[in-house]
Chains A and B, each alone.
Chain A
């Protein structure tokens, strides 16, 4: 067939020339010395403050109200800790586009928090923001993932950026990517196992809680996670993870476990390295740790709330954004050679339970319980100032495990829990049906609590 009315083809070359340029800039930053990186951060911080003042309705108002007598150039020169914080409430109040600093037509991705309750917060990325983040992730991923890997991505692709971002980064690395998704009717956990098995997947991306659930489910289906699968690494995302849980995941699948950390509104904030540490993405953001009560800045090594200021984001730049996460920043000192500092994530600040007036961090309890029991399923229930630790068979029948658990709780917190029984399905069903299985899923219902002897 001949055509006499040829339309010029859609020109993709400028698009990819721009993408290549952004990618090269990102890669260049990974090669900077520590001092060069600090210099770049300070210069970029000033640029971004000016950009927010000029282009973001929200920040323009914030700067005018906070520093009425100063120009945006003068504000940009202020010490960083003189600037006010941005909070999640600010994002809620300015949903969906009140904070963006680019014209809407320059936004190529719009995302929202995936929580089903409460108010949504939005995220907007320009093409450059998106490529910047993809390539940042690639620089970390490629220390562990190669073209030979077959990677199953079992996190949500809808609304939030995590699945989309990882998927693209894996594609750029050249690994075979399988978009499994999370809690979809198309791909229930049984099918996830089938896919891991038949594709001989070498890497799984999911939350640590889901990884443990899948290992348990495999055993129920007479598949041995250690011999029937080819997994060599699990990349954990979506929840803070206790060291004990990390060890359980490692042991359950006989794999290396790596962590990633980020949020919808900021995209990736920390990624693993070849040595297994979690490094802050200081090539695209500034990080501080503050006392969540006094807001005082804390030195490296002390736990507090993580505060992030984006340095390369033009869609939704954020200045001193309080993440609501309890973290510790450690010096860069790492065998992998990266100059960026390391992060330890202790979970959300709100991930606590109160027992008889004592605040317990859920990840600490998780560490304590998982260090004391052979398996990985348990539940917690609190009533009348008593903490009930519900164990599934056969652990509930093991007097030594119960004794060790009670002693550990007494030694660490001075409280004596009651150890009770629970049917395994009561725990596993919660994880199976959770979009983002996490530490919060250990809280079980009163009706599920049984006498030790009642569950066998």
Chain B
């Protein structure tokens, strides 16, 4: 059986402590990057005219999502075309050109095996894992599912298709099957907590959840705290993308380690400079080191991260990152730029505990608009005063706080393909409502 023999060979050769083959970048762009370029129709075309023997790696141009999208069919046609075992597309838009990815057997197994090095610190065969992420198109469901199954966990493929496993059915399964770990998005986990309450469950009593591994959306400090309190469980995060499979995975210490055996990373700062020092904050740029099917060379992920290069007690040698969302995740209000992360953290921190964690906000007409669902009129007044004061002092922007029914926000979440999208209110949406 060729597949299992290949898997054994890859498992035997996997060395997670081989962090960065530095010699690979010596002499022009180096052996590894040259292989990626020469095996890919896209990169041969994209970088044509450059002398790969003399150009330094750091002088190579960046690749962007638009580059990949515009060349999607050609990008697949690599030397390894016939070795590709998985093709994936981004789940976001159903109309525009999607971002695509593909993986050879080697890529796919190495990806799963690397993920297991992280998840294996957190999960054991005694765990029951609910996988509540998409199985269609994207890699994430298949990726997490295989890793958990190989660890020996009892895997329930819940998915996110309400026609098969409705929100209600998922809550019942979590409780009845004594699910100990859930892999899902932060907004879905929040929604499931609310629904469990509606269905008469007391999370503290009925839930056996020990760990939630969040994926698919950035999750910020305050929401992490709220989710952890609601479910009484440890929250970990993981990070990947259609173009690259898993990029960073959680460890038992709660950090998220970048898979440095598979990717070389750079941190691109707003001033256009690369800063790879400890604590650097900027856009994550990835160069794949071992990928055959869908190689990436200086690929601008569009994601804002902070690095932590201190040693981790878990023992993994990879540095860790904190994901702050997309670089573009900000609102321009009255000439000031506010990051969505900061707004969300502030609102959730300043809202009293009796205010629902279901919040929405947006910026237009030089004003930050916040929708909250407090329990009483008095709460609304209190929240309004605190938030107005906070954003005036910290950002010098005006705030309008509107009380909305929590059911309204929840209903909106249920309507969205990705429930987390509901957080951001657009002016167009408001004018339509009006």
Do residues A110 and B177 form an inter-chain contact, with CB atoms below 8 A? yes
- The yes or no answer to A78 lying at the interface (CB within 8 A) is no
Complex Cα distance, B159 from A111, in Å, reads: 12
B-side contacts of A6, CB under 8 Å: 17, 315, 317
Number of A-B contacts (CB under 8 A): 194
Inter-subunit contact A16/B315 (CB<8 Å): no
Contact A150 B134 (CB under 8 A): no
Residue of A nearest to B319 (CB): A1
Contact partner of B1 among A24, A127, A170, CB < 8 A? A24
Contact of A19 among B4, B89, B173, B176 (CB under 8 A): B4
The stretch that binds B, out of A101-109, A302-310, A393-401, A420-428, is A101-109
Tell which of B115-123, B187-195, B398-406 binds the partner: B115-123
Q: Say whether A60 faces chain B, with CB atoms less than 8 Å apart.
A: no
Complex Cα spacing A261 to B176, Å? 30
Residue B145 CB within 8 A of the other chain: yes
Q: Are B145 and A164 in contact (CB under 8 A)?
A: yes
Report if A221 contacts B (CB, 8 A). Answer: no
Partner pick for B135 among A20, A163, A183, A188, CB 8 A cutoff:
A163
| A157 CB contact (under 8 Å) in B4, B125, B136 | B136
Of residues A4, A23, A106, A198, which shows the largest number of chain B Cβ atoms within 10 Å of its Cβ? A198
Residue among A3, A110, A181 making CB contact with B155, cutoff 8 Å: A110
- Which chain B residues (72-107) contact chain A, with CB distance < 8 Å? 72-73, 82-89, 91, 94, 102, 105
Residue of B4, B136, B150, B417 touching A20 (CB-CB under 8 A): B4
A108 contacts B149, C-beta separation under 8 Å? yes
* Interface pick from B6-14, B60-68, B208-216, B356-364: B6-14
* CB-CB contacts below 8 Å: A176-221 with B: 176-188, 190-191, 195, 198-199
CB-nearest residue of chain A relative to B87?
A: A178
Given contacts A159-B165, A176-B84, A185-B417, contact A1 B317 (CB under 8 A): yes
In the complex, how many residues of chain A place their beta carbon closer than 8 angstroms to a beta carbon of chain B? 69
A171–B108 contact, CB under 8 A?
A: yes
- CB of B3 within 8 A of CB of A4, answer no
Contacts of B8 in A (CB 8 A): 13, 16-17, 20
Residues of chain B whose beta carbon lies under 8 Å from any beta carbon of chain A: 1-5, 7-8, 11-12, 14-17, 19, 72-73, 82-89, 91, 94, 102, 105, 108, 113, 116-117, 120-121, 125-126, 128, 134-138, 141-142, 145, 149-161, 163-166, 173, 176-177, 309, 311, 313-317, 319, 417
A-B contacts, 22 listed (Cβ < 8 Å) = A1-B319, A3-B317, A5-B311, A7-B121, A9-B16, A13-B12, A23-B1, A108-B125, A127-B149, A157-B135, A157-B157, A159-B164, A163-B135, A171-B108, A178-B137, A181-B137, A183-B163, A186-B134, A186-B136, A186-B137, A191-B94, A198-B72
Q: A177-B86, A179-B135, A198-B72 are in contact. List 5 more A-B contacts (CB 8 A).
A: A12-B113, A147-B82, A167-B142, A171-B86, A179-B88
